[in-house]
Amino acid sequence: MQPSLIRYAKAGDVHIAYRTLGDAPLDLVFISGAISNVELDWDEPSYVSFMERLASAARVITLDRRGVGISDRVASPSLEDRMEDVRAVLDDVGSRSAVLFGFLDGGAMATLFAATYPDRVRGLVLYAFEPRRRWAPDYPWGLTPDAARRHLEDALGGWNDIERRGREELAITAPGQTADENLILWLGRWRRLSTSPSAFAEFRRVNLDVDVRHVLPAIRIPVLVVHRPDQKVVNGEVARYVAKQIPTATYLELPGRDLWPFLEGSAEMADAVVAFLRETTHAALEEESERVLATILFTDIASATERAAQIGDVRWREVLANHHRVVRQQLARFRGREVDTAGDGFFASFDGPARGIRCATAITEQVRSLGLEVRAGLHTGECEVVDGKVAGIAVHIGARVAAQAAPGEVLVSSTVRDLVAGSGLRFEDRGDQELRGIPGEWHLYAVETSS
């Protein structure tokens, strides 16, 4: 079985390299971690054997996310950008829905995509996936500040003797393969031709700030969480935590000491995934999901009543019409969807939090030319889809966040902040605040602007 020729999908202005294997009616997208290379991956026999085994049940699609492999080299892509890469490849290959296999850092992209576009994802396989990398009081398996610093420093080390570095890494990630000189040589070439020291370190830096834990409960499709207890890289408690957080997850332990899915224990890994694929083939695919992960935006004009009284009804109607025109222009620009408007307020939804933030900041800046100040608030959460419109507790939280914003300010929940790592957006900490009618305290952040 031979993989297809390499093709390029367009994600905006970025070219994403991908190739396929097999012609089964079900699609499986394999999403790797920090490094991949759809040209060189297929030079490693164990990788080929693993993919061929998967292709017995699915058309396998592999891709290089932007910034690595032979895709366009883009500096510091965000999680949202990488999610767009998957969508572009699915569109280019003509796939209406697919199963996603998220390995290592690819799991964050896979989970976010599955929750945001449930109509495009039939199932999800997660292996060696950590939803957060840093330690937190409610996440004790993450890297401590010192460990995180060493993690970043390590990314820049070993490039001048990459074969020695590969042998040392294999002693941890694949202890059964340390004598395989061909594998060591391939790993060195794979790393050199797929990324660079600075790019690899930047990827690690961005991923240290990613936290998709809030996304997990919003996933409603079938999920298989796989763990190898004998490997020493990813804590088994993390895999069990992930499985518990996803309502539809099944947890499975498999033999093998190696982190890489295609090395020791690859047959058992592939067979487990194939069994899962065959189960999803028989599952009914809903035409339209009733729940999606969405970013909610609320805006309103500060001191609208006072301003209307000051300039009079006729002039106020003109100002309001111009305000609505500006808001709708920015919604179209950033792929926002207008859900509702009442008076001087707008309620919109986005399929990406960074686009929602950029839309909100553009609105606040543009309406100043009309002599107006707008308050804006955003939250990302699971929403119900009712008659094509989003509803639910996440909408109420978004409205309450907006109510806390000062004139001219864009305020976001911590969930939004955690999902836009690598986007270049910066925030000022506003601390824990109570939101009227919403239980508990909510950590809020104000978006820093250039003005």
Can you give the CATH number for the domain in which 314 is found? 3.30.70.1230
Range of the domain at 344: 291-447
Q: Are residues 275 and 362 in the same domain?
A: no
Stretch among 4-8, 278-282, 291-295 having the lowest mean pLDDT: 278-282
Q: Are residues 35 and 99 in the same domain?
A: yes
Report how far residue 108's alpha carbon sits from residue 402's, in angstroms, rounded to the nearest whole number: 27
| Domain closes at, from 282, 309, 335 | 282
Q: Are residues 211 and 359 in the same domain?
A: no
Q: Are residues 39 and 134 in the same domain?
A: yes
Report how far residue 224's alpha carbon sits from residue 78's, in angstroms, rounded to the nearest whole number: 25
Q: Are residues 421 and 373 in the same domain?
A: yes
Q: Are residues 265 and 341 in the same domain?
A: no
Where do we find the tokens 């889809």? Answer: 385
Q: Are residues 304 and 277 in the same domain?
A: no
* 284 pLDDT higher than 70: no
**DSSP H stretches of helix in 312-439:** 313-333, 353-366, 393-404, 414-419
Q: Are residues 74 and 121 in the same domain?
A: yes
Buried b / exposed e along 186-199 (16+ C-beta atoms within 10 A): bbbbbbeebbeeeb
| Domain closes at, from 255, 282, 309 | 282
At 6, list the tokens. 């390499």
- The per-residue pLDDT for 282 is 61
Q: Are residues 103 and 184 in the same domain?
A: yes
Residue 399 lies in a domain: yes
pTM: 0.89
Report how far residue 38's alpha carbon sits from residue 44's, in angstroms, rounded to the nearest whole number: 11
Report how many domains make up the chain: 2
Residue 437 lies in a domain: yes
> In which element (H, E) is residue 433 found?
strand 427-435
Q: What is the mean pLDDT of residues 401-426?
A: 93
pLDDT in tens, 301-353: 998 989 889 889 899 999 999 999 999 999 999 999 999 998 899 999 999 99
Residue 1 lies in a domain: no
Q: Are residues 303 and 409 in the same domain?
A: yes
Considering the chain, what percentage of its residues have pLDDT values greater than 70? 98
- The per-residue pLDDT for 386 is 82
Rounded alpha-carbon distances, angstroms, from residue 294 to 130, 229, 261, 375: 22, 35, 32, 20
Q: Are residues 140 and 274 in the same domain?
A: yes
Q: Are residues 46 and 171 in the same domain?
A: yes
For residue 88, what is the domain's CATH number?
A: 3.40.50.1820
